[in-house]
Amino acid sequence: MTPPISEPARIMLVDDHPMLRRGLADLLAMEDDLQPVAQAGSGEEAIQIATSIEPELDLILLDLNMPGLNGIETTKALRTAGVDAKIIIFSVSDEHSDVVEALREGADGYLLKDMEPEEIVLQIRAAAQGKTALSPELTHILASAIKGRLEPASQPVDLTRREKDVLELIAKGQSNKLIARNLEISEGTVKVHVKRVLHKLGLRSRTEAAIWALEHDLAKSI
């Protein structure tokens, strides 16, 4: 299991709880091939360190819920900054949208905090070797995303009246300006609704929203 002669993986731990960082660092330090070389208490700090440290990091373990930049935002920023260390999100959340978004933004893994320490070590090692580190409980989330349905273990998706109105018009291909005219509200307000719809559904663009609406039959007559 332990790689032969290669260098140990240089790892940074990012979490706003020092105690948790400490525990993780101790856990990893016991492994010959895993070397915790840096810690950060926030996403901002993590970015600063990751872009300046030498030699470069091999792997970053990122807490999802942090004040300031959260794990996903930090992942995005790190990728934009050209950091190509493996990134693993470490979280208590098994929310569908969190997992999917994390992977979309460039994370290489998503582990749940309630995993056994031994299992965490195994997954981190797997990620360092280029595999996708994923808590076994989460595979069904990816599988259902593939199958195209999001319900089984997730949220029932409750859009407000207005959000549904906007989504319906998006699904007709209308621009924000047109939607504003049709609903007799400002374009800025339409944008607010669009933003919320995208966030609630875990989507990235109005086109995805339109597709979602069509597939879920939330579109009225075109």
User: Going by C-beta distance under 8 Å and a sequence separation of 6 or more, which residues neighbour residue 154?
Assistant: 95, 96, 97, 141, 144
Q: Which CB, 144 or 189, lies closer to a copy of itself?
A: 144
- CB 68, min distance to DNA, A: 9
- CB 115, min distance to DNA, A: 27
Q: Which CB, 72 or 121, lies closer to DNA?
A: 72
Stretch that binds DNA, among 24-32, 50-58, 121-129, 201-209 (CB under 7 A): 201-209
DSSP summary character for residue 41: S
Find the binding residues for DNA in span 53-82 (CB under 7 A).
Answer: 73, 80
For residue 88, give the nearest of 116, 71, 109 by alpha carbon: 109
- CB 31, min distance to DNA, A: 35
Binding region for a copy of itself (CB under 8 A): 100, 103-104, 106, 131-132, 134, 136-137, 139-140, 142-143, 145-148, 170-173, 175, 203-208, 210-211, 214-215, 221-222
- CB 166, min distance to a copy of itself, A: 13
Residue 55 phi/psi, 5-degree rounding, is -70, 170
Long-range contacts of 117-125 (CB under 8 A, 24+ apart): 117/27, 120/24, 120/27, 121/27, 121/28, 121/31, 121/34, 123/88, 124/11, 124/28, 124/34, 124/59, 124/61, 124/88, 125/1, 125/9, 125/31, 125/33, 125/34
DSSP summary character for residue 72: H
Residue 104 makes contact with DNA by CB under 7 A: no
Stretch that binds DNA, among 35-43, 91-99, 143-151, 159-167 (CB under 7 A): 159-167
For DNA, the binding residues (CB under 7 A) are 73, 80, 158, 160-163, 175-177, 183, 185-189, 191-195, 198-199, 204-207, 209
